[in-house]
Copies of this chain bind each other. A is one copy, B any other.
Amino acid sequence: MKKLSAIGEFGLIGLLRKQFSGSRRRGRPEVIKGIGDDTAVLPFHKDKYLLFTTDMIVEGVHFTKKSPPEAIGRKAMACNLSDIAAMGGVPTYAVVSLGTPARVKVKFIQEIYAGMEHLGKKYRVTIVGGDTVRSDKLIINIALLGEVKRKALTTRAGAKRGDWIFVTGPLGNSLKSGRHLSFTPRLKEAQYLVQNFKPTAMLDISDGLAADVGHILEESRVGAVLYEPKIPCHRGAALNNALYDGEDFELLFTVPPASGKKLLADKRFYFIGEIVDRKNGLTLVDRRWKSRRLPFKGFTHF
């Protein structure tokens, strides 16, 4: 019998998706998007969808004992905000579950919540409930709701041959540099994009560029060429860090070439490649115009 470590996070998600696809059809066929995107997309109003997402962070994996409590709370909120951004949406309400040892100081816990609340407030997110339980290690789970105008909804499926590929910032080395605790979720950039350029596909880079481009390619049934010299790397990050490190939380999106040309002049966005036919898979072209195929692999939690 296989262990999780043998199939990895993406293997597990694939299995669960299969397990649940039947129940979705039988249960609530009105679900717009279920498992397999940054957030679920649910019926809401005539001109709006409801977005629903959740993220869990665990001591020793996503932060350490020594991480400042405000930064821990901030990160728990920021990952969720980033998911709502990736759909073209606006966040609204959060519920927070906290698992904690009883020996922890009350002030430490209050600072975690202050970190969440401080970041949430910037985007008009209100914490409306939660749960607190005992646990050996600190665990925080946030579930976040959001709204998106039907016209603005941007999923992973929708990239077309010829579209240009962009990211919203330099990549790589997020965990090592500590940036994973202080990144800015790209809600403003996403709103700017959906209001002015209608991206064809979008997600937030949490598994590394190669894996996350892979997600768009799979859902959109297309291929991509990435131009190595164009991929923006963070200080101290090599190309492989940009391709395979996780937790960047920059947006990755595709737009038709006409929109792409306009975005080239905008310093917030970095052109990195093009969408091509599916049979080409994911191809990386280096500065000498030599090309190689990349696997869709990336940061996995198992």
Inter-chain CA distance A58–B62, complex, in Å, is: 18
The answer to whether A42 touches B93, judged by C-beta atoms less than 8 angstroms apart, is: yes
Does A192 make an interface contact (CB < 8 A)?
no
Interface size class of A (residues with CB under 8 A): 35 or more
Interface stretch of the complex, out of A127-135, A228-236, A288-296? A127-135
Q: Which residues of B contact A258 (CB under 8 A)?
A: none
Indicate how many identical chains form the complex. Answer: 2
The closest CB in chain B to the CB of A301 belongs to B134
Inter-chain CA distance A57–B134, complex, in Å, is: 9
Contact residues of A: prevailing secondary structure = mixed
The answer to whether B55 touches A131, judged by C-beta atoms less than 8 angstroms apart, is: yes
The closest CB in chain B to the CB of A129 belongs to B40
The answer to whether A99 touches B56, judged by C-beta atoms less than 8 angstroms apart, is: yes
Inter-chain CA distance A145–B110, complex, in Å, is: 26
Of the candidates B37, B121, B126, which one forms a contact with A34 in the assembled complex, judged by CB atoms under 8 Å apart? Answer: B126
Which residues A107-155 have CB closer than 8 A to chain B?
Answer: 107, 109-110, 113-114, 117, 120-121, 124-137, 139, 141, 143, 145
Residues on A close to B: CB < 8 A?
1-7, 9, 12-13, 15-16, 19-20, 23-24, 26-28, 31, 33-35, 37, 39-40, 42, 45, 52-58, 60-62, 92-93, 95-107, 109-110, 113-114, 117, 120-121, 124-137, 139, 141, 143, 145, 301-302
